[in-house]
């Protein structure tokens, strides 16, 4: 227990914020992955880890993550010896191609918070606007100084979409400033090793690239999983600042699709760069995913980043009207309760095909599984704050009822249903048999105890 508290205090260093946001004023020397989890964003369908848009050469590196709720790959579970009722296949929520990368160059020098020097650094996640914001004044190793600001949101209006805005203002120089925007398909899930809370057991390359496209301002990857048969299409659309002339150079290296935009910057003049992301998968029943993604990206660009920001704030304003809990006199508790409710909203499936995984959409822990008792803990909150979400969570449970009946037959019961301990698609995924049958055994013990107490009429 002392080790746990020591770890919590270490990760809290430099972490602050108010009653409506969490913030950091310095990057942690280690524990970067913890911060990425804390600053994660989602809308119930799409989730982005709170990793930096650019590479970081400092200590305590984390890992990038992009997830669709319930989008998974399956693989056979390897046992030394199989026995009655053992789960046959694992299911793992996949880390999908990363559309977040935005590399900034001041002349020939790449922006890297592990190099040069930074003042006025602050990164915050607002629970009122849903925006992750990072700002600082960075001085490059050669002395070039610029004010840099990133803003990112995962849209509650367009569930398949996310948006990033980069603003850079040269302070003591004029000359070329470049932005490299990428869609990076060279990703993999984080290995959990012997600890399922950390990552997954899925191997590298769980998918096949079906098609890819790269043209000025637009990148796309369409992928299909090898075993589960699911398809996903990921796309990005860039909008460089029209007030500055720029050149674009395209490059492709396997599943890394990039475009470099070079601007002729002037001291004191702010360059703006918007990037729109879209992820859609075959569970929706859409036939032509690439066309659908392209249409959505064009619509997002036409709508504009500012309009998306405005809708996000309005959506969350209505949510807090019903969900907010006020704790007077203790700002830390107030911040904590709001943050937890905010993460529930970000994590809950709203399509009837997904639920709430144990780590939400913040990372690979527990392989993105939904547990058997999810509704016990989550449903009451949404019944009072967003009952339509409660309905969708129950629809998911209903949609896997046939598989729960099959599981009951597998364990020798001619009637009834046994919902899995851990699952995504409905089948039992726990390779640990005592845990995988725990709902059955706990239910049996509860019924037996009730009968012994004489509660037959209840």
**pLDDT at site 441:** 59
* pLDDT single digits (tens) 384-420: 999 999 999 999 999 999 999 999 999 899 999 999 9
CA–CA dist 321, 324 (Å, integer): 6
Residue 80 near residue 251, CB atoms below 8 Å: no
How would you write 302-320 as a 3-class SS string? HHCHHHHHHHHHHHHHHHH
**pLDDT at site 228:** 94
**pLDDT at site 197:** 56
**pLDDT at site 112:** 96
**pLDDT at site 83:** 83
Q: Provide the token pair at 42.
A: 């989602």
Q: Which residues contact 49 (CB under 8 A, 6 or more apart)?
A: 36, 37, 39, 40, 62, 63, 64, 65, 66, 362, 363
CA–CA dist 322, 228 (Å, integer): 39
Q: Where are the strands (E) in 202-348, listed by range?
A: 207-215, 218-225, 231-240, 246-253, 256-265, 271-281
The predicted model scores a pTM of 0.92
**pLDDT at site 2:** 42
* pLDDT single digits (tens) 120-139: 999 999 999 999 999 999 99
**pLDDT at site 62:** 86
Residues of the chain with pLDDT below 70 are: 1-14, 192-201, 203-204, 439-458
């Amino acid at each position: 227990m002392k080790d746990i508290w020591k770890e919590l205090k270490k990760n809290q260093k430099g972490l602050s914020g108010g009653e409506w946001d969490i913030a950091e004023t310095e990057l942690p020397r280690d524990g970067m992955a913890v911060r990425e989890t804390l600053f994660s964003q989602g809308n119930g369908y799409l989730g982005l880890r709170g990793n930096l848009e650019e590479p970081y050469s400092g200590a305590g590196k984390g890992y990038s993550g992009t997830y669709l709720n319930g989008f998974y790959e399956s693989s056979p579970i390897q046992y030394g010896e199989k026995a009655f009722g053992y789960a046959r296949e694992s299911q793992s929520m996949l880390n999908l191609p990363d559309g977040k990368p935005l590399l900034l160059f001041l002349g020939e020098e790449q922006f890297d918070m592990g190099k040069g020097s930074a003042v006025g650094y602050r990164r915050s996640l607002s629970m009122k606007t849903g925006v992750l914001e990072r700002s600082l004044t960075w001085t490059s190793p050669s002395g070039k100084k610029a004010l840099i600001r990133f803003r990112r949101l995962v849209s509650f209006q367009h569930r398949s979409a996310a948006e990033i805005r980069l603003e850079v203002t040269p302070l003591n120089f004029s000359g070329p400033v470049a932005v490299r925007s990428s869609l990076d398909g060279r990703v993999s899930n984080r290995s959990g090793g012997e600890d399922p809370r950390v990552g997954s057991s899925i191997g590298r390359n769980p998918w096949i690239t079906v098609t890819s496209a790269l043209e000025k301002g637009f990148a796309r990857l369409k992928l299909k999983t090898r075993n589960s048969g699911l398809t996903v299409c990921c796309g990005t659309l860039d909008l460089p600042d029209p007030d500055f002339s720029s050149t674009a150079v395209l490059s492709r290296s396997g599943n890394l699709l990039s475009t470099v935009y070079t601007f002729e910057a002037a001291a004191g003049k702010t360059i703006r760069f918007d990037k729109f992301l879209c992820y859609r998968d075959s569970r929706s029943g859409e036939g032509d995913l690439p066309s659908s993604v392209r249409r959505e990206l064009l619509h997002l660009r036409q709508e504009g980043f500012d309009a998306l920001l405005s809708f996000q704030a309005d959506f969350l304003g209505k949510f807090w009207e019903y969900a907010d809990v006020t704790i007077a006199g203790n700002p830390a508790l107030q911040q904590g309760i709001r943050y937890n409710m905010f993460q529930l909203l970000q994590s809950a499936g709203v399509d009837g095909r997904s639920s709430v995984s144990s780590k939400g959409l913040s990372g690979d822990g527990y392989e993105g599984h939904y547990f058997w008792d999810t509704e016990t803990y989550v449903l009451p909150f949404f019944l009072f704050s967003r009952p339509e979400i409660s309905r969708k969570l129950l629809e998911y449970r209903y949609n896997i009822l046939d598989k729960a009946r099959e599981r009951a037959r597998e364990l020798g019961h001619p009637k009834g249903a046994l919902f899995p301990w851990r699952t995504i698609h409905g089948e039992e995924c726990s390779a640990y048999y005592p845990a995988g049958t725990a709902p059955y055994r706990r239910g049996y013990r509860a019924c037996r105890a009730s009968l012994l107490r004489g509660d037959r009429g209840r």
